[in-house]
């Protein structure tokens, strides 16, 4: 049996390529598994990412002109059809990312030619308000028809998201809509990052720089009151216009504008006392790559208390829950447990428990069973 894993957003800034590489490394070299990814030579990190992916299996690529767009999913289906013409047949297809409506609309046609045993789809988002409020019956019909197809399996990253999709499409067999955990923590033995204790607390916003991470109000707060600690904002803007929207970063001495490799991100995260995950514009049912980063660097997080992130922090005790009010949150940052205290050690133990529960060792068997079993 052959499985083809497709990532139409492989070229996108942020986590798509690294997340697929993490999955591939967890699967290991397996003759049954191959990869199809989007290609764009203008993306600086593309060549390095695709070579790392080739470590784990055969990789085909297809050219795209955009990082994340509906056309990337269309081009993936066309590339898959060309591979079929060359005699490459796959019993199972797994879309690691996709434009759901486009895939749902086109799959009935392409399925006649591709004839697969199963098509699995990993979707990162919840059902949008248009679907939930039934304002677009055509979109609901197309997606519902797709989900009902016998060969389709629909995966979400969290149980919160899966529950929302099951509620939105009650006529779809609930067993076809479930969560598939991320394999973002490569092993169960974390790399050791010694902490150099300082009187000044170090807070970090690490990763893709975009609106909604609290940057626009956190940066002024730290500039106004240095006694809170030192804030580092490190990463790459998700799109050019974000630079203008986050003008507060201009001249901010804690801003590091750069693309970071996985190792760079780990080292940058380990240099903080806390990682901030104060997402104001965010589907709270979604997971966050930063929590996995924090687990690998063994640093606690500061999050809002609702959604998946809040549930994880509450369940494992791996961070501090912040109030929704910005001023109250800033005040909280000034009194969080300090490194070396019993309270801070307790947070690190909680992060260790989260890491073990979400390590490849703990989750690999389930993921492999879903994809290949």
pLDDT score of 47: 80
pLDDT score of 190: 65
Does residue 14 surpass a pLDDT of 90?
Answer: no
pLDDT score of 199: 83
Instruction: Show the CA angle centred on residue 116, arms to residues 76 and 16, nearest 5°.
Output: 35
Encode pLDDT of 105-140 as tens digits: 999 999 999 989 999 999 999 997 656 666 678 888
Encode pLDDT of 96-108 as tens digits: 999 999 999 999 9
Phi, psi of 115 (to 5 degrees): 50, 70
Encode pLDDT of 294-343 as tens digits: 999 999 999 999 999 999 999 999 999 999 999 999 999 999 999 999 99
pLDDT level of residue 67 (50, 70, 90 thresholds):
confident
Closest CA to 337 of 311, 299, 304, 305: 299
Closest CA to 64 of 83, 81, 42, 48: 42
Residue 229: burial class (beta carbons within 10 Å; 0-12, 13-18, 19+): buried
Q: What gap in Å lies between CA 337 and CA 320, rounded to an integer?
A: 9
Query: How are strands ordered across the β-sheet holding 59-63?
Result: 59-63, 33-39, 3-7, 92-95, 118-123, 152-156, 177-179
Q: Where are the alpha helices (DSSP H) in 197-252?
A: 215-224, 240-245
pLDDT score of 357: 95
Residue 279 tokens read as: 């997402």
Encode pLDDT of 31-48 as tens digits: 999 999 999 876 666 788
Tell me what the pLDDT averaged over the chain comes to: 92
Encode pLDDT of 168-189 as tens digits: 999 999 999 999 999 999 875 6
Encode pLDDT of 266-289 as tens digits: 999 999 999 999 999 889 999 999
Q: What gap in Å lies between CA 351 and CA 318, rounded to an integer?
A: 4
pLDDT score of 94: 98
Residue 338 tokens read as: 């300090």
pLDDT level of residue 11 (50, 70, 90 thresholds):
confident
Give the DSSP H or E segment for 123: strand 118-123
Encode pLDDT of 191-224 as tens digits: 666 666 678 999 999 999 999 999 999 999 999 9
């Amino acid at each position: 049996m052959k499985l083809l894993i497709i990532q139409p957003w492989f070229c996108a800034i942020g986590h798509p390529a690294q997340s697929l590489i993490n999955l591939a490394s967890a699967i290991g070299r397996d003759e049954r598994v191959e990869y199809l990814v989007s290609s764009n030579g203008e993306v600086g990190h593309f060549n390095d990412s695709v070579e790392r992916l080739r470590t784990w299996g055969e990789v085909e690529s297809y050219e795209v002109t955009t990082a994340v767009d509906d056309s990337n999913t269309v081009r993936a289906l066309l590339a898959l059809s060309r591979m079929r013409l060359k005699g490459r047949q796959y019993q199972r297809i797994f879309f690691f990312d996709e434009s759901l409506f486009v895939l749902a609309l086109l799959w009935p046609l392409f399925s006649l030619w591709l004839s697969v045993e199963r098509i699995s789809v990993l979707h990162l988002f919840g059902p949008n308000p248009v679907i939930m409020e039934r304002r677009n019956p055509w979109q609901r019909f197309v997606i519902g028809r797709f989900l009902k197809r016998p060969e389709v399996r629909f995966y979400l990253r969290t149980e919160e998201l899966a529950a929302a999709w099951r509620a939105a499409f009650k006529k779809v067999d609930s067993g076809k809509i479930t969560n598939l955990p991320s394999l973002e923590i490569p092993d169960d033995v974390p790399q050791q990052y010694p902490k150099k204790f300082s009187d000044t607390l170090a807070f970090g916003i690490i990763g893709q720089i975009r609106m909604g991470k609290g940057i626009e109000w956190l940066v002024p707060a730290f500039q106004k009151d240095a006694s809170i600690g030192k804030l580092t904002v490190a990463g790459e803007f998700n799109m050019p216009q974000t630079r203008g929207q986050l003008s507060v970063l201009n001249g901010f001495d804690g801003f590091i504008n750069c693309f970071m490799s996985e190792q760079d991100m780990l080292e940058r995260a380990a240099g903080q006392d806390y990682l901030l995950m104060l997402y104001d514009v965010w589907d709270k049912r979604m997971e966050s790559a930063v929590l996995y980063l924090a687990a690998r660097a063994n640093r606690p997080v500061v999050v809002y208390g609702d959604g998946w992130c809040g549930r994880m922090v509450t369940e494992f005790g791996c961070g501090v829950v912040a109030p929704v009010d910005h001023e109250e949150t800033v005040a909280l940052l000034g009194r969080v447990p300090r490194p070396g205290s019993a309270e801070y050690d307790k947070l690190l133990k909680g992060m260790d428990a989260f890491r073990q529960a979400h390590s490849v060792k703990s989750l690999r068997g389930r993921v492999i069973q879903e994809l290949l079993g």
